[in-house]
Amino acid sequence: MNTITTAHARTGISRNFNNDHELVKAAVIASVQSLNINIKESGQTPDGFYILFTRSISVGRVLVTKVDDNNTLVFVHSVMRGFPPVGVDKKTHVIAKGIFEGVTEILERREE
């Protein structure tokens, strides 16, 4: 987990959401909770709101960063336990896709 917590804020796969920061943060929390992901810790740092998680053999972090009033960047970063970090792996893509799709769905429902 240490590799994840000390990773640069902009590490991983990112997606910009053209929505209010608090709304995106709530959507990220709901999206992560809907997946088969164990939330280990969450909180606020100068970089933004973060969620540390575990999933089967990987550990990761979701970071929600406010860009401006209507833009929020979400970063998803994960690594396989027991292996040195080597860029973005397939697991990160799968987890990020699930989180981003969940956030998009939640935000779209809200706009209806």
pLDDT by residue, tens only, the chain of 112 residues: 566 766 767 778 999 999 999 999 999 999 999 998 899 999 999 999 999 999 878 889 999 999 998 999 999 988 876 665 555 566 777 889 999 999 999 999 987 6
Architecture of the 2-111 domain = 2-Layer Sandwich (3.30)
- What is residue 57's three-state secondary structure? coil
Could you tell me which residues come within 8 angstroms of residue 40 by beta carbon, excluding any fewer than 6 positions away?
Answer: 1, 52, 53, 54
pTM above 0.85, yes or no: yes
- Per the structure block, which two tokens stand in for 2? 């240490």
At 76 the pLDDT is 92
DSSP per-residue letters across 40-79:
EEEEEETTEEEEEEEETTEEEEEEEEEEETTEEEEEEEEE
Angle at 103 between CA 31 and CA 85, to 5 degrees: 70
